[in-house]
Structure 1
Amino acid sequence: MAVVVLLLLAIFVGAAMQRLTGMGFALVAAPFVVLLMGPVTGIVLVNICGVAASLLVLFRVFRYVDWKKFFILASAAVVGVVPGAVIVKYVPGAWLQVGVGLIVLASLTVSLRMKSFPPEPGVKPMLVAGAASGIMNTTAGVGGPAMSVYAVASKWEQRSFAATMQPYFLTIGVASVAAKYVASPSSMPVMDVWEWTGVCAAIVAGLVAGEVMARWITPNKARVLMVVLAYGGATAATIRGIAVLAG
């Protein structure tokens, strides 16, 4: 029961960050869900919850979506999902858990440092970012950092970026779950009906809480909070994975 409560709390906070920042669900929730459920099943659950959260947020921001950028980024990401599913199938769980933590830590650090780089417009950076995001979303549940790096590098306006990320994460989330189901059916999470109900309730409650908090928390403060939580969770996941390998 304690594990379920912690799991629902991680999903709740992730959903709140998704509403506040447009892409915080996986960054915040994935490391903690991996700690609680393991690196394979945990990431599949993160993908499923991310799809639900993005779909719900999309209804509120639909008019701001840049559909041209979405189609280019999503097409590249779907291609990247395939090698990601192969990695999940053949890499041992402890190594994958360490990888999840390190990917989140490295991606966050790079995205923070990108503010000093000159703009990088054009299709090629979009294809690279989309493919990298697809691989990372499938293996670690975190396709957002690659998108954040691209957004900063291309000087993408925040409102359009946050809105476009909703159909993007919806698409690559579905693709990631489908690819992992084909590659490794045993990776699908198995939970009781009441647990799935709790997950759904945590997502909705988190989005509502994010909606309320958005009245008082500025986007900059929300991003700082998201980064702090993500760094903490990623560090914990990395340490646990190393401990399993060492033991």
Structure 2
Amino acid sequence: MTTEAIIILTVGVASFIRGVSGFGAALIIMPVLSGLTSIYVAAPLVAILGLTIDTLLCFYYRRSFDWGLVAKLWIGSILGIPLGFVMLRFIPGNWMLLALGLMIVVYAIYALFDPAMPILQSQRWMYGTGFLCGALGSSYNIPGPPIILYGNSQRWGQEKFKSNLSVFFWGNAVFVVLGHIVQNRLTETVFQQYMIAIPSMIIGLFSGIILSRFFNPLVFRRVVLVILILVGIRLFVLGLQS
């Protein structure tokens, strides 16, 4: 299979999963493209693909997201970013990946078999969630798990879940892409592969959105938890491989 075909297939599948669940695309695309090309091509490519997906989802779910909630998450994220740099310096990356992967798997399995979990009422949880996202994003480039866990604990409906995640991720993606621009990483090769990936990204994303409309809330929540388990296992394996 050619490089172009692998890119098209990987981005299509990852975008489909993002359309269904609202998260998970980067964790699928990044390992495949890093092995296929290099981290210096894959990282900026995944960044601009993620920004494009987030922009499309923000527009699609523009009537569903909660600006007040997302603003609190962003504030927490900004405050957490410095801690991430400290973590990156003093905590081995494989330890963090192992711990985070194990935590996600344990939570998701528990929630899968015990749907009557308590809803976190205090607004401090919003700032705390954003804080953890900022710390994990600036240290290990994995800001998603805390907000995914928080959204699931709040019993957000499908559209609110996807819209809040997309707007939050969009804000992070803008800064990541700007960072790649400053470091001159958006090369001609990156843009060529980006153009190749756009059609499968759009088809996969909106196919996932359309399919997810047929899920009732309980089925959607279970899909999210199953994908969380897979994400947790993936992080745990990455920790072992580091």
Range into which the TM-score falls when normalised by the shorter chain: 0.7 to 0.9
Hey, what does 1:147 align to over in structure 2? 147
Hey, what does 1:105 align to over in structure 2? 101
1:15-34 CA distance string (max 9 Å, x none)? 11111112232343344445
Mapping 1:109-148, distance limit 5 Å = 109-112=105-108, 115=111, 117-148=117-148
Q: Which amino acid aligns with 1:213?
A: L
TM-score after normalising by structure 1: 0.73
Q: Which amino acid aligns with 1:49?
A: L
Are the structure 2 counterparts of residues 172 and 65 from structure 1 closer, same or farther at C-alpha, using a change threshold of 3 Å? Answer: same
* 8 Å Cα contact 1:133/1:143 also seen in 2: yes
SS of corresponding position for 1:63: coil
Hey, what does 1:230 align to over in structure 2? 231
Mapping 1:56-135, distance limit 5 Å = 56-84=56-84, 98=94, 102=98, 105-106=101-102, 108-112=104-108, 115=111, 117-135=117-135
Is structure 2 residue 208 aligned with structure 1 residue 207? Answer: no
* 8 Å Cα contact 2:95/2:239 also seen in 1: yes
Distance 2:99 2:11 in 1: 20
Q: Tell me by how many angstroms 1:106 deviates.
A: 3.4
Cα RMSD after superposing both structures: 3.6
Hey, what does 2:53 align to over in structure 1? 53
Hey, what does 1:164 align to over in structure 2? 164
Q: Which amino acid aligns with 1:53?
A: I
Q: Tell me by how many angstroms 1:123 deviates.
A: 2.2
Hey, what does 1:244 align to over in structure 2? none
* 8 Å Cα contact 2:99/2:236 also seen in 1: no
Q: Which amino acid aligns with 1:13?
A: V
1:60-108 CA distance string (max 9 Å, x none)? 21111111101111222233345546777x69xxx75x46853662353
Are the structure 2 counterparts of residues 157 and 212 from structure 1 closer, same or farther at C-alpha, using a change threshold of 3 Å? Answer: closer
Q: Tell me by how many angstroms 1:41 deviates.
A: 5.8
Are the structure 2 counterparts of residues 161 and 227 from structure 1 closer, same or farther at C-alpha, using a change threshold of 3 Å? Answer: closer
1:152-182 CA distance string (max 9 Å, x none)? 3344444322211111110011123435666
Distance 2:228 2:63 in 1: 27
- Residue identity over aligned pairs, in percent, reads 18
Q: Which amino acid aligns with 1:28?
A: I
* 8 Å Cα contact 1:26/1:50 also seen in 2: yes
Which sits farther off after the overlay, 67-76 or 139-148? Answer: 139-148
* 8 Å Cα contact 1:100/1:234 also seen in 2: no
Q: Which runs of 5+ in 2 are unaligned?
A: none
Give aligned pairs, total: 233
1:169-220 CA distance string (max 9 Å, x none)? 10011123435666xx27x354524212113333213213313433566524
Q: Which runs of 5+ in 1 are unaligned?
A: 242-247
* 8 Å Cα contact 1:137/1:173 also seen in 2: no
* 8 Å Cα contact 1:114/1:149 also seen in 2: no
Distance 1:100 1:207 in 2: 30
Q: Which amino acid aligns with 1:144?
A: G
